[in-house]
Amino acid sequence: MLEDDFGREVSGVRVSLTDRCNFDCVYCHNEGLGDTRGPMDPQDDEMSADEVVRFLEVAREFGVEKVKFTGGEPMLRQDLEEIIRRTPDGMEVSMTTNGTFLPGRAPDLVDAGLERVNVSQDALDPEAFAEVTQSGAYDKVIEGVEAALDAGLDPVKLNMVVFEHTAGYVEEMVEHVAENAGLQLQLIQYMPELTGKPEWNIDIQRVHDWLADIAEEVETREMHHRNRYWVGGTADDPEGGMVEIVDPVENPQFCANCHRVRVTHEGYLKGCLNRNDDLRSMGEMTRDEIRETFRETVTNRVPYYGEYMVRGDDGEWEINDEYVNNVEA
């Protein structure tokens, strides 16, 4: 596996298959590339299935174990099943979607090899949902979650961005996943960097503190050092719900445990979600050139909140104690 100068191995890749979307969420960072508004039809700038697969084959040679398909809305790609089917053996395949196209298509995706799905659902109330997504497709999303469960995807993670518009719905979303087998919740800290609306931010620490109070058990996931709270059950006896907090903003522990390289829908390699100054195009490259470019991208990866990192006495990178997340599992 390739490793960057900060000792972070790259075990996963996150591939955006399109920047098109049928929603227009008010907060959307579009994986760091700005607007999703635009034509709904397939665009010439998108990587072809062959290009995606060729990149994945190279990544697999370097020991990459996981791929996450995202976008824009990845299910707008009609060749998604083909891409999943052709993903190299040994790679776990997951996807993050707004869920609207899962009804009717979830079984085919599972048949093609999809192992996990995250569905974005910011509220349980159709009006609040429409306000965030600027779409009235709430019923379709609920149907999509059901379709994913029926197709055997377990767990189905619901993604909820916690910001001014949704903070009041966190409690009922936690109850919802605690009461419904097969569902887990990912509470995502609102990232203002790419949206330019810092005023929508809320203090995610309050959510950590509240969950720490009500949880039966807390554990810390190696990936991004994320806390997982088990509500109404435990990790060994998962009767209740699992709630994970994704809190990247100004969090050096998150960056220190970041093991993924990204690929834009146009086929640019990208070392960090928040940065666009390290893009490397795979354009017309040969397989050998892609190998070299992948190596370069990994070598040049820098933790975005890197100013919080210091060299320890042994020369290894460590996080400055002052910035360590104060919620301990």
Ligand X SMILES: Nc1nc2c(ncn2[C@@H]2O[C@H](COP(=O)(O)OP(=O)(O)OP(=O)(O)O)[C@@H](O)[C@H]2O)c(=O)[nH]1
Ligand Y SMILES: C[S@@+](CC[C@H](N)C(=O)[O-])C[C@H]1O[C@@H](n2cnc3c(N)ncnc32)[C@H](O)[C@@H]1O
Say how far apart CA 279 and CA 222 lie, in whole Å. Answer: 27
Which of 51-59, 61-69, 250-258, 285-293 is the region at the interface with ligand SF4 (rule: CB under 6 A)?
A: 250-258
Distances (CA, A) of 297 to 3, 67, 91, 290, 301: 10, 17, 20, 10, 6
Which residue, 193 or 318, has its beta carbon nearer to ligand Y? Answer: 193
Which of 46-54, 171-179, 266-274, 292-300 is the region at the interface with ligand SF4 (rule: CB under 6 A)?
A: 266-274
Residue 303 contacts which entry, ligand SF4, ligand X, ligand Y, none (Cβ below 5-8 A, type-dependent):
ligand SF4
**Is 270 assigned a ligand-binding role in the annotation?**
no
**Is 255 assigned a ligand-binding role in the annotation?**
yes
Backbone angles phi, psi at 239, to 5 degrees: -70, -40
The answer to the question of residue 258 lying near ligand SF4 (CB under 6 A) is yes
Residue spans of beta strands (DSSP E) within the chain = 12-16, 66-70, 92-97, 116-120, 156-162, 183-189, 217-221, 226-231, 241-246, 260-263, 268-270, 280-281, 309-311, 317-319
What is the β-pairing status of strands 241-246 and 226-231? Answer: antiparallel
Task: Work out the burial of residue 211: count CB atoms within 10 Å of its CB; fewer than 13 is exposed, 13-18 middle, 19 or more buried.
Answer: buried
Residue 297 contacts which entry, ligand X, ligand Y, ligand SF4, none (Cβ below 5-8 A, type-dependent):
none
Residue 24 contacts which entry, ligand X, ligand Y, ligand SF4, none (Cβ below 5-8 A, type-dependent):
ligand SF4
Which residue, 22 or 234, has its beta carbon nearer to ligand Y? Answer: 22
| Minimum gap (Å) between residue 30 Cβ and ligand Y | 5
Among 17, 58, 211, 273, binds ligand X (CB under 6 A): 273
Say how far apart CA 36 and CA 25 lie, in whole Å. Answer: 9
Say how far apart CA 205 and CA 202 lie, in whole Å. Answer: 9
**Is 261 assigned a ligand-binding role in the annotation?**
yes
| Minimum gap (Å) between residue 196 Cβ and ligand Y | 10
What is the distance of C-alpha 44 from the center of its chain?
25
The answer to the question of residue 118 lying near ligand X (CB under 6 A) is yes
**Is 157 assigned a ligand-binding role in the annotation?**
yes
| Minimum gap (Å) between residue 287 Cβ and ligand Y | 28
Residue 143 structure tokens: 């149907």
The answer to the question of residue 159 lying near ligand X (CB under 6 A) is yes
The answer to the question of residue 258 lying near ligand X (CB under 6 A) is yes
Can you say whether the dihedral through the CA atoms of 248, 220, 94, 152 is positive or negative? negative
Site for ligand SF4 in 33-92 (CB under 6 A): 36, 71-73
Say how far apart CA 184 and CA 178 lie, in whole Å. Answer: 8
The answer to the question of residue 15 lying near ligand SF4 (CB under 6 A) is no
Residue 54 contacts which entry, ligand Y, ligand X, ligand SF4, none (Cβ below 5-8 A, type-dependent):
none
| Minimum gap (Å) between residue 29 Cβ and ligand Y | 4
| Minimum gap (Å) between residue 90 Cβ and ligand Y | 24
Closest CA to 280 of 289, 51, 28: 289
- Please tell me whether residue 24 adopts helix, strand or coil conformation: coil
Q: C-alpha angle with apex 54: 52 to 59, nearest 5 degrees?
A: 95
**Is 66 assigned a ligand-binding role in the annotation?**
no
Binding-site residue ranges: 14, 21, 25, 27-28, 68, 72, 96, 120, 157, 255, 258, 260-262, 272
Binding-site residue ranges for S-adenosyl-L-methionine: 27, 72, 120
Interface with ligand SF4 (CB under 6 A): 21, 23-25, 28, 30, 36, 71-73, 98, 120, 133, 248, 254-255, 258, 272-274, 303-304
